[in-house]
Amino acid sequence: MFYHDKRLQYKVRVDKPNPAFARMLQQAIGGVEGEIRVCLQYLFQAWGSRGPVKYRDMLLETGTEEMAHIEMLATAVALNLEGAPASLKDEFAKDKMVGAILGGMDPRHILSSGQSAMAVDANGVPFNGSWIVGTGNIAANMMANVHAEASGRVLATRLWEMTDDPGMKDFLAFLIARDTMHQNQWLAVLEELGGFSGQLPIPNSFPQSEEVQGFNYSFVSTNISGDSQAMGRWSEGPSIDGKGEFKFVKAEPLGGEPQLGPPDPRGHAQKEEMTGNTGGISGLVDKVKDALD
């Protein structure tokens, strides 16, 4: 069950409405780096969480906080759109070029939402649920969460740079601060589980003796000229998990050439594809049909 407090988590103030900036803020709502993504990611991880209850509770509380961030961003979009023209005709009359691009604003903020935020990114592309990561493996989830918060913080800092509005800068600085905490929060979970290196490779429950040995700690160079510069911490010395030694190896083909069978006649390939070297189309088709019977 979820409850709502009508007061915002942090103040949202817009001193000078800017419809173009409202469109940019949409990326922080419905983009791949946005708050809908982290909100649903943390909640779905929580709803499927097994094991110690504290991890479920933590994810639930943080996912719920992210709802508050969506609410604040939606409020910021609405306040910035209060300066949007009620009539596109008026904009065209002022300046044809400005009218053509609406000063950078999204026309759907007028046509579809009535000067309100939408569950879309800055280009109007709807939020995509396939971006949500919930693996059922807590270490894999925490790694995904660190990435989500890192990319979200990058976006928030770019938005901060793109506005001169004091209210928007203050609000974005709050979101940036929360991203700082959440990055550290997810890394703290990994540390509590035994340290970053102790969780590798994920899942650490799979016996590494079953891996094809010799490939689990080798950097494979696919540079055919042999002058690769891709050498560093990952190509020599002890592995990050302390369970192997990195090495640099040149790629080589070990699998031979693939040999595929003839086309299934029920798939209706071209006649020429089905001829092969068997002495004619009809003979090959009969052989394939016999094999399928």
**183 CB-side CA count, 13 A:** 14
State the pLDDT at residue 178.
97
CATH topology of domain 19-197: Ferritin (1.20.1260)
State the pLDDT at residue 280.
47
With contact defined as beta carbons under 8 Å apart, do 289 and 274 qualify?
no
With contact defined as beta carbons under 8 Å apart, do 200 and 240 qualify?
yes
| Residues of the chain below pLDDT 50 | 97, 100, 278-281
The tokens describing 144, both together, are: 């995904």
Q: Which residues contact 65 (CB under 8 A, 6 or more apart)?
A: 9, 178
Determine whether the annotation assigns residue 149 to a binding site: yes
Domain positions in the chain are 19-197, 207-253, 264-293
Task: Report the C-alpha gap between 162 and 268 in whole angstroms.
Answer: 56
State the pLDDT at residue 89.
54
pLDDT tens digits along 192-238: 999 988 899 999 999 999 999 999 999 999 999 989 999 999 999 99
Q: Which residues contact 269 (CB under 8 A, 6 or more apart)?
A: 263
Task: Report the C-alpha gap between 44 and 37 in whole angstroms.
Answer: 11
Task: Report the C-alpha gap between 219 and 228 in whole angstroms.
Answer: 12
Determine whether the annotation assigns residue 182 to a binding site: yes
State the pLDDT at residue 225.
92
pLDDT tens digits along 142-154: 999 999 999 999 9
Determine whether the annotation assigns residue 4 to a binding site: no
Residue with tokens 């003979």: 283
Determine whether the annotation assigns residue 66 to a binding site: yes
State the pLDDT at residue 97.
47
Predicted structure pTM score = 0.84
Determine whether the annotation assigns residue 5 to a binding site: no
Of all helices (H) and strands (E), which one includes residue 190?
A: helix 166-192
